[in-house]
């Protein structure tokens, strides 16, 4: 694919969905061989793997967190940002984590990352994107209609999602 286009390519390593992980060595070889392979969305959850990618890949190769609960750890290893699920419902806050970190305000970035942890986890209580769509409906952003193969979130998980949104809003001083 990289030989057939000049379009920038981001590798997506998501072993939770593919049942295999792309090794740091393979990422490094691809990045060195193809100038248009310019980044990775790293969702292995393995911080050691991310550190190896950062060490092995050429300058200018970007690493993006693919796990919303690991934005700060990835940034601390030289990450460029996040390709995010939670940003679908909390775009400003997700951006703010990165902005605060890059501006040296690591304590504030850490607090926000930790404040968002429950809602991040709630967005994965069922197969993505079902909880995200449910959250957007709860927030009044979409009408909630789904097309197959998606099905509505279960009632119990909907309640859990509502509670996590409410708790996050309270932690941010927003009335729910």
Active centre residues (catalytic): 12, 41
Per residue in 85-113, is it b (16+ CB within 10 Å) or e — as a string?
Answer: bbbbbbeebbebbbebbeeeeeeebeebb
Q: Which residues is 42 bridged to in the sheet?
A: 13, 65
d(CA 42, CA 65): 5
d(CA 49, CA 156): 36
């Amino acid at each position: 694919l990289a030989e057939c286009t000049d379009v920038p390519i981001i590798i997506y390593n998501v072993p939770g969905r593919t049942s295999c992980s792309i090794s740091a060595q393979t990422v490094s070889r691809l990045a060195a061989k193809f100038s248009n392979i310019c980044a990775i969305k790293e969702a292995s959850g393995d911080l050691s793997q991310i550190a190896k990618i950062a060490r092995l890949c050429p300058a200018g190769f970007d690493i993006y967190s693919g796990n919303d609960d690991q934005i700060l750890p990835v940034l601390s290893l030289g990450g460029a940002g996040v390709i995010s699920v939670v940003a679908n419902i909390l775009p400003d806050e997700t951006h703010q984590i990165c902005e605060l970190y890059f501006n040296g305000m690591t304590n504030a970035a850490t607090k926000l990352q930790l404040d968002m942890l429950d809602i991040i986890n709630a967005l994965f209580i069922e197969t993505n994107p079902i909880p995200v769509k449910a959250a957007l409906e709860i927030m009044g952003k979409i009408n909630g209609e789904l097309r197959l193969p998606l099905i509505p979130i279960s009632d119990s998980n909907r309640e859990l999602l509502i509670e996590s949104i409410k708790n996050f809003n309270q932690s941010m001083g927003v009335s729910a």
